[in-house]
Structure 1
């Protein structure tokens, strides 16, 4: 077999970089003839990217090459605040700073790589799909690695079929009935679709552009597995879409802290968990961009306390007050969060629960036998991690496609307890009450619950999917064969 080189172009936030590079590692494990070049733009203050890339280099040194395309640029022009409290700001900043650099790089490398015996193609992150056009200019095969699930991909393809009807009507904004979208067994309510989809000037055009670029590639790798989303995956073959390869779950289950502060936090948390009984702790974590206003923080605290269960709560806050610090990892913020809690709460929970401010070692926590349930923002990586360890989920989606993920987990798969499906972050009038939280926690922590049983069963299936002969293992093999056949 001839050698094959793939150039990966990832986004460098944790939720995108880890799965796409873990997939790249699996590719080189599958085939001795594959090598990987990773082209990325690193922000100067981003210590995580450096540390994670070094760990990949160490494990696969002779098969990976990394190119930081920002090295020749002015330092100040590439600053992207990865701790930004706005997902929209984060994406806009990435597009403004990263895309021109990556466009130049892809153009240069595509025009210089004439030897297609070794240069097999480009693999793009979801956020960088406009680069597909450049690959086409030079007749270079392009692929997409999707960190979301097959249901989200089916929504993208659905958009292209509805553009001239429902989506282009005068009463565009949230005025159409629930739709039966291919890829979903149940009609999909509008209020679980990404809110940006209803921004006709900005969000909707981005979704349409993305869907069209997805249709134009040679293949799409999706971080899911056939047994988890059989209905969605089986539907792709009927649409004339590019080949879809379910290759997940793609996780870094050995994920480690990357700073001294994170390491100290991790040790503290794991020591406390070691002292707790098996399946006795409810874990709450809401991702890098999941923040709460003061009224919601109080309700969560009351709900946890009233549930009677031990808890581990990772909290980021958003305030309308100028007292709000710019980051959530300083001691001043700790005192401010305590001001938001019910009076006497910290004293009453002594020994029953702990709170983390900022980063949490989520993978290590979910892997711990003391964890019995997970209240989650329903980011797809977090859902896959919970399923891998057989931890049942309570749905509290915040932004992006998380509401759709929550709908899939509750209504389509029966793998989660519904707290909310359509929660909107930082909506002052949309407060989840302490009673709702208490009820959901009690449901998910019930040893005899059906959801707990199904989560444990799916954990076994997920682990079988990626080993030799499993569905995702064979899907990766099929991708390699198809990719080399294209060249």
Structure 2
């Protein structure tokens, strides 16, 4: 969902701003029937945006591999079906471009077969694109385990360096079942005719300019078209669970301005049982108001697995420390599994957001001016955390112990620091500056608006009335 949402919203924006010129088809590889949240999202698409669910991949080929490897394998095995889907579309529309997600560079070959421009879409930030550009060089220059590197990693355009341990886990471990696949796609990204990134110049301009000047881009355009976030208004409202939404917003209505910490780990992030306990007790110790989206703990130590696999149907409140609900009654609202995040972040009572450093959630926070507590779980989230804390200075980050756990005392300290401390005031001020920059980027004459218009003009030049395959 973290990839589908920005691509859906990108498609929605294309047809709303250029409705006489663009139609879009979203093509989705799958492991089976779409999850409920995905199905509801797709039901909200405007008429000019359609979607195709490719036939499910044989699940037996995905047994005993990591989540990252499953994603790559699913797309790889779906390429023949993608070819058939595009052939069917080409019989109906004058196609102009194929936009491939970060896992789908093999789709570039299909685009060439149909004489389509091939674009690489980064649903996250320019930092991810910088890592993609740097990875082949890192692989060629370093032998052995990356963990043995003495110096931190510095990516193109980054004034800040990354401790090696903050690299994407599947990149850090060269023996992982996903490493060679990631490396292969990092090399193939250079085959794209252009790059579309869900970011804006005011937040990552240095990285984008550095990539434009690198051999990586080699004259091909990079289009920062963000921040693109999930729409708060849909055609029929079915994507929102009205009862839960009302519960959250009514509770927030009763709280003082900027007094509530919102706690959520994205569309599927989970914690271990021990870490769940520490988080609960840390929130309690902080004596701050909070709204927490609680999920059942993971049992596989894979904090990423629930993003593409089934989530637990058990009551997550059963896993909380004994007496916790009673002790926090009145200053906390706990909801199981889901909350209307965009409305919560936009509410006057929300004064902070403890989250997993997913880029979608980060952009939603920026647009609402809500400062962050960074708690990365997997993927590129540790790198994003470094960016938010060290460079943009819009977040605080709790420190884990040697055993990897973030203890209750540390959680309480950071929560109080954000909500009522001097460091929180400084972070809040930086976030307000970035909020205005994001609005400016999306304005009529803003950098992202102009970037999107330039992208569409390129597609129009390829075909009089383009249909855009995503």
Please give the TM-score of this superposition, normalised by the length of structure 1.
Answer: 0.83
Residue 40 of structure 1 is matched in structure 2 by: 28
- Pairing partner for 2:449 from 473, 476, 479: 473
- The alignment partner of 2:2 has SS state of helix
Residue aligning to 1:104: 81
1:357 to partner: Cα distance: 2.1
Distance 1:259 1:36 in 2: 21
Match of 1:64 among 49, 53, 64: 49
Deviating above 6 A after TM superposition, structure 1's stretches of 4 or more consecutive aligned residues are 78-81
**How does 1:237-316 map onto structure 2 within 5 Å?**
237-240=212-215, 241=217, 242-254=220-232, 258=238, 262-316=241-295
Match of 1:444 in 2: 418
Matches of 2:411 and 2:436 in 1, distance apart? 29
1:26 counterpart residue number = 13
Q: Name the residue aligned to 1:453.
A: 429
- Match for residue 149 of structure 2 among 175, 179, 185: 175
Given that 2:155 and 2:161 are in contact with CA atoms closer than 8 Å, whether structure 1 keeps it comes out as yes
Q: Distance in 1 between matches of 2:332 and 2:114?
A: 57
C-alpha contact (below 8 Å) 1:122/1:135 kept by paired residues: yes
Aligned counterparts of 2:353 and 2:96: Cα–Cα separation in 1: 41
1:385-424 alignment, distance < 5 Å: 385-420=364-399
1:148 maps to which residue? 124
Question: Aligned residue for 1:17?
Answer: 4
Q: For residues 159 and 93 of structure 1, what CA distance do their matches in structure 2 show?
A: 21
Distance 1:234 1:96 in 2: 33
Alignment of 1:364 onto 2:351? no
Matched-pair contact (CA < 8 Å) for 1:45–1:79: no
Whether 1:133 and 2:109 are equivalent positions in the alignment is: yes
For the residues of structure 1 that align with 2:291 and 2:7, how far apart are their CA atoms?
29
Match of 1:49 among 38, 41, 58: 38
User: Which protein has greater RCO, CA pairs closer than 8 Å, 6+ apart?
Assistant: 2
Structure 2 residue aligned with 1:6: none
Sort the Cα spacing of 1:462 and 1:140 in 2 relative to 1 into closer, same or farther, 3 A.
same
Matched, 1:161 2:149: no
Number of paired residues?
444
| Residues 211 and 92 (structure 1), Cα distance of their counterparts in 2 relative to 1, 3 Å cut | closer
Structure 1 unaligned residues grouped into runs of 5+: 1-13
- Compared with structure 1, are the counterparts of its residues 107 and 443 closer, same or farther at alpha carbon in structure 2 (3 Å cutoff)? same
- Are 1:315 and 1:355, in contact at CA under 8 Å, matched by a contact in 2? yes
Per the alignment, residue 208 of structure 1 pairs with: 183
Give the distance between the partners of 2:408 and 2:339, measured in 1 at CA. Answer: 23
**Deviations 1:276-323 (CA, angstroms, capped at 9, x unpaired):** 1111111111123322223222221222122111011122233559xx
Q: 1:360 to 1:254 in 2, by over 3 A?
A: same
CA RMSD, 1 decimal? 3.0
On the 8 A contact 2:145/2:174 being kept in 1, the answer is no
Distance, in Å, in 2 between the alignment partners of 1:50 and 1:163 is 39
Q: How far apart, in 2, do the equivalents of 1:386 and 1:146 lie?
A: 19
Residue pair 1:375, 1:393 contacting (<8 A) in 2 also: yes
Q: Distance in 1 between matches of 2:358 and 2:137?
A: 26
Does 2:319 correspond to 1:337? yes
The answer to whether the Cα contact below 8 Å between 1:467 and 1:473 also exists between their aligned partners in 2 is yes
Match 1:221 to one of 196, 210, 229: 196
Q: Quick one: structure 1 residues 80 and 327, their matched pair in 2 at CA, closer, same or farther if it must change by over 3 Å?
A: farther
**Other structure's SS at 2:43 match:** helix
- 8 Å CA contact 1:183–1:232 kept in 2: the answer is yes
Paired residue for 1:462?
438
| 1:341-360 equivalences in 2 (<5 Å) | 341=321, 343-360=322-339
Q: Report SS of the residue matched to 2:223.
A: strand
2:99 partner SS: strand
Cα deviation, residue 264, structure 1 = 2.6
